């Protein structure tokens, strides 16, 4: 199922489900202008096709005691396939790292990190990240505040 196969109603469905992932099917059907059963069939099809990957609650970090968001640009000592894979595997196990990308340019990885405070983040950078056998360089960017939050996919 590619984008070209989606019609105007599918696009509306995706827009609404991004906005509110817990909307009821009947309300969704109303909003997109069809009756409930075909609407549900479309949603299931989008899920099965992998266009919709899942539904998730979005939590407020600060209110849960995670006051710090930072990005780390990590360069490895070697960029062989096995080194990249080994580091990517380690990233999975570090709870501070919420998202990670392999990137081109000066660094090899970009990590989005969340921590309770600056001390916890620095401990992670010094004791875990720079201490890692694969890691060569680490540059960090502390965020001051998030200025755009829910960049929904503009389908």
The residue ranges that bind a copy of itself (CB under 8 A) are: 1-3, 14, 17-22, 49-61, 63-66, 69, 71, 73, 88, 91-92, 95, 97-105, 107, 109-112, 114, 140-155
Residue 18: contacted member of DNA, a copy of itself, none (CB under 5 to 8 Å, by partner type):
a copy of itself
Compute the C-alpha angle 76/110/102, nearest 5°: 70
Residue (41 or 98) nearer to DNA, CB: 41
Q: Which of 100, 63, 73, 64 is nearest to 85 (CA)?
A: 100
Q: What angle do CA 35, 36, 39 make, to 5 degrees?
A: 90
CB of 6 to DNA, least distance (A): 10
Q: Residue 112 touches which of a copy of itself, DNA, none (CB < 5 to 8 A by kind)?
A: a copy of itself
Nearest to 67 by CA among 3, 153, 152, 143: 143
Interface with DNA: number of residues (CB under 7 A): 13
The residue within the footprint of DNA, chosen from 19, 41, 85, 139 (CB under 7 A), is 41
CA distances from 34 to 4, 42, 50, 77, 138 (A): 21, 11, 22, 56, 52
Binding site for DNA (CB under 7 A): 9, 24-27, 34-38, 40-42
């Amino acid at each position: 199922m590619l984008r070209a196969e989606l019609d105007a109603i599918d696009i509306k469905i995706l827009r609404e489900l991004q906005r509110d992932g817990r909307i009821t099917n009947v309300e969704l059907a109303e909003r997109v202008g069809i009756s409930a059963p075909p609407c549900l069939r479309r949603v299931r099809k989008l899920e099965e096709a992998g266009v919709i990957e899942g539904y998730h609650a979005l939590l407020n970090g600060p209110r849960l005691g995670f006051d710090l968001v930072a990005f780390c640009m990590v360069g490895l000592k070697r960029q062989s396939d096995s080194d990249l894979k080994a580091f990517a595997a380690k990233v999975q196990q570090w709870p501070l790292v919420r998202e990670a990308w392999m990137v081109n340019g000066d660094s090899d990885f970009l990590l989005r990190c969340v921590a309770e405070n600056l001390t916890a983040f620095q401990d992670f950078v010094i004791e875990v990240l720079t201490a890692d056998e694969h890691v060569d360089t680490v540059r960090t960017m502390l965020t001051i505040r998030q200025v755009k939050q829910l960049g929904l996919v503009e389908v």
